[in-house]
Chain A
Amino acid sequence: MAPQTPAVVMDNGTGYTKLGFAGNDSPSFVFPTAIATKSQGGGGGGSGSGRPAVANKPSFLTGGAGPGSHLSGKRGTEDLDFFIGDEALAASAGPGYGLHYPIRHGQIENWDDMERFWSNSIFKYLRVEPEDHYFLLTEPASQYHLNYSAPLNPPENRENTAEIFFESFNCAGLYIAVQAVLALAASWTSSKVQDRSLTGTVIDSGEGVTHVIPVAEGYVIGSSIKSIPIAGRDITYFVQSLLRDRGEPDSSLKTAERIKEEYCYVCPDVVKEFSRFDMEPAERFKQHTVTYPNGKSVTVDVGYERFLAPEIFFNPEIYSSDFLTPLPNIVDMTIQQSPIDVRRGLYKNIVLSGGSTLYRQFGRRLQRDIKHLVDERIAASERRSGGAKSGGLEVQVIEHKRQRHGPWFGGSLLGQTPEFRSYCHTKAEYDEYGPSIVRRFALLGGPGST
């Protein structure tokens, strides 16, 4: 292979899929991880096509007894009648199609849908020949000897992915990377990062959940991962409830979402921010114009939600009655539960990732609040020790330009390195050893590589 083709980087998240080529600054496609398929007829005539019910499990889980599990065996024309991404949303709005989300909580739940989703991603969107490209895929943390709470992926999922990529798509080579590790790599573009270390705490906040994931030298410390049920969607709901309290002319979710994205920021102190709005109303209050398809438009005033909405990360009590622990405390607890010899590195390199970490001043406030907790604890232990002095602990939150698609961008960075291909498993290796080969990958970007 003389001129190397760029690796394909695919980050399939619960909410959105990011597709593109290694070496690029941003993904070529970002669309919902959704698929619209012909609903299996209403009522009795459902199985009229005469084909067996779709098996949701990979072949080795059905003990090989099930019908030939992959789609190739049972492809009728109706199997080709589907849409993915934004087209899926559009199709499902009309009759005849049902909308499905093949990934739940970061894990693939419906393998048939996922295979179709991938095949459309490759052939219809990226338009590449899989046999010419190496693929870098992502997965949630996969550490099977640790607990299965939070975003952990059983190793069988990797094997099943490999089966589809090598056997259905015949791809040249495959690497499966952990999203949190890629998010760390993405932060290397920040000027604050001096050493390209794969030790750090990733705060990944998307639409549904916020994860706090400690990573030591490229390996996720699965037992200390924490998830909190506050993320982008909750911020949108909170904006909406504030709009409704005021009786704004448009308080739809869509408007709330636009307002969240355009006007919200994190403030240092809520009470001071309220007085700032009192003193300089002209600069602080904004107006948002909503234009409807029929040409009419209304004006929505934007006020306190600008700083109150993202405040739910730092003061969940103002939004939720059952989840009360602020994000800075969760980060602190996560690190405190990690092995003592990596804690310093985890505090020093707290990396943000995901769309809900993009609010102005988010990182600064987080750093201040965590620092405050750490300093308090150090002061308390100094008092108890009677005179011992601590050297202090550095807390640093890294914000960078590629935060929104952090894992994808990290994949793009690592996928373009010269040694990337040597870390992949190739089709030939797969044919020789079988699917279990993908249970292990050498650590990309770890010590020893450039």
Chain B
Amino acid sequence: MPVCHLEPLNPSEANCRQAYHSVFLDEPNQHLIGNFALLPLRTRTRGPALQLPPLPAGVTELTIDASSESYDPLDEVLQLFRANTFFRNFEIKGPADRVLIYGILYVSELITKIKPNMGRRDAEKAVMNSALDTNFAIPGDAGFPLNQAFEPPKDRNEAEVLRQYVGQMRQELAQRLLNRVYADGSNAPSKWWLSFTKRKFMGKAL
């Protein structure tokens, strides 16, 4: 057996490479509920999120760059999802990272709804069923798995706004995930995306 001859190191010294963080961490004037950021989204779903301009001509969801003014946290979620699901440790550096975490965990959940032999139509039904369901846990609810890292909203009003915002995230993520999983136009889901069903970012699931 190979033996590790390293003296034990404390985490700061070990200087471990970290999973990828949100580029929105330094975004000014973030609207916070608890310690969750309600960042502007590029979506036509109804809700409290500020709207970002639609994709400029010639840019697709696949090619959008973080420097574009239309780039939103959900683009980021889908970009980082495959890389970050390999990590069990994640140090939250700010409210925008919580948006990223929630997004990634929700994509994980959505992917389990798509079965290898589903056509796009059926997958859409399954995925939107989950996305439109308003019966989901938000920070502070007993069923929310990350309550140690997420602060609850202050009152019922805030809770309602947060729920609507998260709802928007879920619907928009579902749409964009379908675009990626069915990107090749063959009406069969990408086996490359479905291979991530068993991986759990931070060892958690929603």
A residues with a Cβ closer than 8 A to B are 105, 149-150, 208-209, 225-229, 231, 242, 245-247, 270-271, 274-275, 277-279, 281, 285, 301, 303-304, 308, 314-315, 317-318, 321, 323-326, 329-330, 373
Contact = CB atoms under 8 A, between A and B. Distances in A.
Contacts of A229: 2-4
8 contacts: A227-B2, A227-B4, A245-B196, A281-B184, A285-B192, A314-B17, A317-B17, A329-B14
A274 B2 contact: no
Contacts of B194: 246
B40 to A, nearest CB: 22
Contacts of B62: 275, 278-279
Given A271-B20, A314-B17, A318-B87, A245 B5 contact: no
B80 interface: yes
Contact of B89 (A231, A270, A317): A317
B2 A271 contact: no
B88 A231 contact: no
Given A325-B14, A329-B15, A301 B191 contact: yes
Nearest to A324: B16
B82 interface: yes
Contacts, number: 81
Nearest to A318: B86
Interface residues of B, number: 33
Nearest to B196: A245
B15 A275 contact: no
A150 B5 contact: yes
Contacts of A150: 5
B16 A325 contact: yes
Interface in B169-195: 180, 183-184, 191-192, 194-195
A271 B80 CA distance: 6
A314 to B, nearest CB: 7
Interface in B4-18: 4-6, 9, 14-17
Contact of A317 (B4, B86, B184, B191): B86
Contacts of A271: 20, 79-80, 83
A149 B5 CA distance: 7
B198 interface: yes
A308 B192 CA distance: 13
Given A149-B5, A304-B82, A318-B86, A245 B195 contact: yes
B6 A226 contact: yes
A226 B183 contact: no
A237 B91 CA distance: 28
B21 to A, nearest CB: 11
A304 B5 CA distance: 31
Contacts of B63: 279
